[in-house]
Chain A
């Protein structure tokens, strides 16, 4: 069963627009970790953020911000004032602690962000 759902396949914006990427997850664990990664065309997965299930504080890092809501099992990601360099595939991922798959990172399908000048 799909544990992480990224419903948006592709989002196209013009530079300086804001873009929000949705992520909905499913788990029975009370302890888990959520991640966002960026994958540019070069292929490397670039770590953006890690959040554990006990920390619901929203976070801002430069132009990036994250909204974690356990009540709706969502961990959304917003890029403010997008730039062409933000064009990439963005993955949301889940790591569950209390299962036999501890250590396994389960990825959503990814959202392709295209930022045009």
Chain B
């Protein structure tokens, strides 16, 4: 299995809703990432997890709450979002960050989020 699976593919939520995005990989990768991509812009890093521990938080607002319950699963909990948070949310994984060798990243197909 060489895929990163993201669910749901599309999500529409109101500003008072609570929802979660899910990301799963079974490649044995120990690093997982959340990226946010606005229309016609490059992806921007939000969070990095290494061995289930948060290693990078790019000053993301607290209405986005990541969680890595095990090495295969990464969640992004959403609460009280704003319309400007509408974007494509991409999950990625990579082998291992401890060795300081970058073997590359595998990206999921993303969740298109619309906040109304």
Contact = CB atoms under 8 A, between A and B. Distances in A.
B104 A50 contact: yes
Contacts, number: 62
Q: Chain B at the A interface: mostly helix, strand, loop or mixed?
A: strand
B109 A104 contact: no
Interface string A75-117: 0000000000000000100010110011111111110000000
Contacts of A62: none
Interface stretch (A11-19, A20-28, A38-46, A66-74): A38-46
Contacts of B110: 43-44
Contacts of B102: 33, 50, 52, 95, 97, 103
Interface of B: 31, 33, 41-45, 48, 50, 55-56, 88, 90, 92, 94, 97, 100, 102-110, 112
Interface of A: 31, 33, 35, 37, 42-45, 47, 50, 52, 91, 95, 97-98, 101-110
Given A47-B106, A50-B103, 20 more contacts: A31-B100, A43-B90, A44-B109, A45-B92, A102-B97, A102-B100, A103-B31, A103-B48, A103-B50, A103-B55, A103-B56, A104-B56, A105-B33, A105-B43, A105-B92, A107-B42, A107-B43, A107-B44, A109-B42, A110-B42
